[in-house]
Amino acid sequence: MRDRFKKDVDRMVREYTASIAFDMLLYNQDIDGSIAHAKMLAKQGIISNKESEDIAGALEDIREEIDSGRFTPSEELEDVHMNIEARLIEKVGEAGRRLHTARSRNDQVAVDMRLFVKEAIAHTMEKLVELQAAIVDVAQANKDVIMPGYTHLQRAQPVLLAHHLLAYFEMLQRDMDRFGNCWVRADVLPLGSGALAGVPYDIDREFLAGELGFGEISENSMDAVSDRDFVIEYQAAASIAMMHLSRLAEELVLWSSQEFNFIEIDDAFATGSSIMPQKKNPDVAELARGKTGRVYGNLMGILTVMKSLPLAYNRDMQEDKEGLFDTVGTLLATLEVFTGMVAGIRVNADRARAAVDEGSILATDLADYLVGKGLPFREAHGIVGRLVQHAIDGGKGLQDLTIDEYKGFSPLFEEDVLSITAETSVAARAIAGGTAPAQVKKQLARARKLMKGEDD
């Protein structure tokens, strides 16, 4: 491809521009695309059926060579496409040279990347469902456990632990939706766009789409070879998913600390200290928090690569791969290890309940009690605020106050105020989406339906 040049490419330039060190990961997609292209060329009479069959057979042999580690890629051939093509020519001769008819490396790499992203989405969604199932199982097994709900990391109101965990199910369900939408936009065939203007051959793009499993074909050849929105969208969805996992990680770190002691992480998902024998460190959760920043960085990298590129293809776009590959690997590994870690959590129900009974977590329920007696909420809020301060000054919890103390702040308090408990507080939140046991039971049932792919 250097016939118009007077000099060979400089060694440093060759090393700098080569992508074979990382894009060899696309070999399966590249071979699938080439086999489909060869079949289409034969169908259209551009090459013979014999040539198409020889090409397909040789490409499958090359796939086996790569799978078995017997294929040695060359940096001088730049990328996965040229390495496979060179080996193909070694095996079938002139027919191998004819394969590139009606195709450019620009639309070739675009189809490889779309096939890769579609496969990555499928694997990601499988792993998301597995983690959702682990969350639902832990929630179901601890459906009666009451714990403090928090705002500003301060104890706020009692909630069921299952309700808290199912919040993460909902986050992951939105991640499922995002990846599903990304699939739709990745499911567009660019092959046939050539370098940028289309090709002057009578090719059958619909046939190619059918062979490669694409739902539609691209409508604009320039857009098709220069579009990496689907890569950006996967990375954006992955960043949001990692953010959700990082939030869950933070809760697991907090809950497993001696200060909270709501859960214990299984020994298989924790590490010790090199110097302090008593330590049990939640390293998996901590690493997930750290790896979230790495995935964010990959998203910012591809956004920056694409932000000023004129149409159509530019070599900058070679930088679309390493970050994507890293993000896919990081997210899949994090989802898998989280599934095992969550499934092995042991809940300390007694400690969670004791934390509910400490302090003034039922204050809102007392304000609501006064509202039920006809008092405006803002006035009720003020009364209960003073009542809380009175309890603090006396070194008591609200549950330790006598009816006389209550009446000292409002004559509306009656004996039944003493029957307000964490159980009645939780049960009172019986609206759709609330933390009441009956509602959480419905949420668990809904979650299981969604995981089976049934409509809500």
User: In the beta sheet, which residues pair with residue 147?
Assistant: 159
Q: What pLDDT, on the 0 to 100 scale, is given for residue 278?
A: 82
Q: Return d(Cα 252, Cα 239) in angstroms, integer.
A: 20
Q: What pLDDT, on the 0 to 100 scale, is given for residue 324?
A: 98
Q: What pLDDT, on the 0 to 100 scale, is given for residue 17?
A: 74
273 in active site: yes
- Tell me the average pLDDT of the chain: 95
164 in active site: no
Token output for 265:
């992480």
pLDDT digits (tens, 9 = 90+) for 255-266: 999 999 999 999
Distances (CA, A) of 138 to 127, 406, 437, 443: 17, 39, 15, 14
Q: Is 155 helix (H, G, I), strand (E, B) or coil?
A: strand
Q: What pLDDT, on the 0 to 100 scale, is given for residue 2?
A: 62
Token output for 211:
């062979």
DSSP secondary structure string, 384-417? HHHHHHHHHHTT--GGG--HHHHHTT-TT--GGG
Cis peptide before 195 (omega within 30 of 0): no
Which pairing describes strands 216-217 and 188-189: parallel, antiparallel, or unpaired?
parallel
Cα 454-455-456 angle, rounded to 5 deg = 120
CB 295 within 8 A of CB 330: yes
Q: Return d(Cα 195, Cα 312) in angstroms, integer.
A: 8
pLDDT digits (tens, 9 = 90+) for 30-80: 999 999 999 999 999 999 999 999 999 999 999 999 999 999 999 989 899
Token output for 258:
């001696």
Distances (CA, A) of 372 to 366, 377, 395, 417: 10, 9, 28, 12
User: In the beta sheet, which residues pair with residue 151?
Assistant: 154
Among 68, 152, 274, 308, the active-site one is 152
Crossing angle between the packed helical segments 229-255 and 161-186, to the nearest 10 degrees: 170
- Residue 359, sorted as left (phi over 0), alpha (psi -120 to 50) or beta, turns out to be left
Q: For residue 340, how many C-alpha atoms fall within 13 Å in the half-sphere facing its CB?
A: 11
Q: Return d(Cα 364, Cα 267) in angstroms, integer.
A: 39
Burial category of 61 from C-beta neighbours within 10 Å (exposed 0-12, middle 13-18, buried 19 and up) = middle
Domains along the sequence of the chain with CATH: 11-101 (1.10.275.10), 106-138+160-349 (1.20.200.10), 359-451 (1.10.40.30)
Q: Return d(Cα 257, Cα 355) in angstroms, integer.
A: 14
Q: What pLDDT, on the 0 to 100 scale, is given for residue 455?
A: 74
Cα 314-19-217 angle, rounded to 5 deg = 55
Nearest to 299 by CA among 250, 248, 244, 228: 228
Residue type, 27: Y
Q: What pLDDT, on the 0 to 100 scale, is given for residue 454?
A: 81
Token output for 424:
């009645």
User: In the beta sheet, which residues pair with residue 155?
Assistant: 150
Q: What pLDDT, on the 0 to 100 scale, is given for residue 198?
A: 97
Token output for 214:
């694409």
Q: Return d(Cα 207, Cα 229) in angstroms, integer.
A: 24
Q: For residue 238, how many C-alpha atoms fall within 13 Å in the half-sphere facing its CB?
A: 38
Q: What pLDDT, on the 0 to 100 scale, is given for residue 342?
A: 98
Residue type, 194: G
The low-confidence residues of the chain, meaning pLDDT below 70, are 1-2, 5-6, 456
